[in-house]
Amino acid sequence: MSRLLKWLYLALVLAIVAILQIGISRTGKVPGADGEAGYTPLATKIKEAEQGMKAAEAQMAAVRIDPEYDRMAAIPGGPFFMGDAGGGAIEQPERTIRLSPYRIDAYETTFAHYYAFVAATGHRKPRLAGYLAVDSSGLPFLMNPFNPVVGVSWDDASSYCLWKGKRLPTEAEWERAAKGTGRRAWVWGDEERPSFANLVGGEDGFKYTAPVGAVRPDRSPDGVYDMTGNAMEWVADWFDERAYAAMRASDPSGPPTGKERAIRGASWNDALERGRTVTRFKMRPSYRDVTIGFRCAASDRPFTKDALPPAVIPSPKIATSIFSLDTALDLSYNAAVFSSLRRLVLRGGFSNG
């Protein structure tokens, strides 16, 4: 019986080979070969993507940034509910946290903003290649000047905010700006509305990222856009699963050390559930992805000793000196030397004059 099966298998293989040979002899083409309708060689796709990205970069240099995209939302000081008593373990316990007044960018940082930073400081560009979520032909579509910049690490984001005289928001500040003082599940309330934010799928009208603020329902009670979808966002804190139980009740800034940084909000490639106002993510600071961007914050809070003080903002002169030294030494912005230097400058109590 086994011998018969072997002969049947061999006959089937020979039949398939014969069919392929007949097809090739009639058409003169190997199925899937170059020139077949609908087929584009990978090398051609990559070349077209590179050309598209170069055109997008040229557009970035010529675009004028509307002052609206630099607007910051003022968040009043006071208490709010942080976390979710009925949520996941890393979202508990729910705490009443009090924050000092602060400001947060109403829009995510755009490609136009970030490329102005690159042009002024010589900082590295975003990394947009090599991700499974986006085919090479789709990469230029991410680089609309007013789409959120993605492909940046935590250090890239922090360096940009420093250059702007700002900082990354803390987890507490980000969550307060997203949910207000209540317990809403999403920025618009508790109803599951996938079309209200730029998330995975076509309900919102965008395949990848969208121009910041384009999906109008994705607006928090304080007027901050895209905190549910569009791009995930780096925040200042080191990530700790038990951070909520240990954090201070006033102006917490996260653990003093860690291996991964916290990320908040969902992206264009995520489902609605991941865009809840309390959902937390983590990633190593050097990671860059087409789903992760950021926004900046600012305040006049005094120095705090439980972590590197994100509220301390050096003067433009000091910030320029840091970037000039980094460029002269040809250091990566993710290098330990640069990170140590930046911490030294911030902890040194330089004036903002």
Q: What is the dihedral of CA 248, 350, 286, 87, to 10 degrees?
A: 20
Q: Give the pLDDT of residue 152.
A: 98
Q: Give the pLDDT of residue 208.
A: 93
Q: Give the pLDDT of residue 59.
A: 83
In the chain, CATH 3.90.1580.10 sits at 46-297
Phi and psi angles of residue 105, each rounded to the nearest 5 degrees, phi first: -55, 130
Helix (H) or strand (E) holding 338: helix 336-347
**3-state DSSP: the chain helix, strand, coil percent, rounded to 5?**
35, 15, 50
Q: How far apart are the C-alpha atoms of 60 and 57, rounded to whole Å?
A: 5
Q: Which residues contact 274 (CB under 8 A, 6 or more apart)?
A: 266
Which residues on neighbouring strands pair with residue 80, listed in sequence order? 97
Q: Give the pLDDT of residue 54.
A: 81
Q: How far apart are the C-alpha atoms of 88 and 77, rounded to whole Å?
A: 27
pLDDT tens sequence for the chain (353 residues): 566 666 666 666 566 655 555 554 444 444 444 444 566 665 666 676 677 778 888 888 888 999 999 999 999 999 999 999 999 999 999 999 999 999 999 999 999 999 999 999 999 999 987 666 676 777 888 999 999 999 999 999 999 999 999 999 999 999 999 999 999 999 999 999 999 999 998 888 999 999 999 999 999 999 999 999 999 999 999 999 999 999 999 999 999 999 999 999 999 999 999 999 999 999 999 999 999 999 999 997 654 434 333 433 344 444 444 444 443 444 333 334 444 444 444 444 333 33
Provide the CA 54 distance to its chain's centre, in angstroms. 22
Fold (CATH) for 46-297: paralog of FGE (formylglycine-generating enzyme) (3.90.1580)
**145-179 b/e with 16+ CB inside 10 Å = b?**
bbbbbbbbbbbbbbbbbbbbebbbbbbbbbbbbbb
Q: Give the pLDDT of residue 266.
A: 98
Q: Give the pLDDT of residue 316.
A: 41
User: Coil, strand or helix: which one is 293?
Assistant: strand
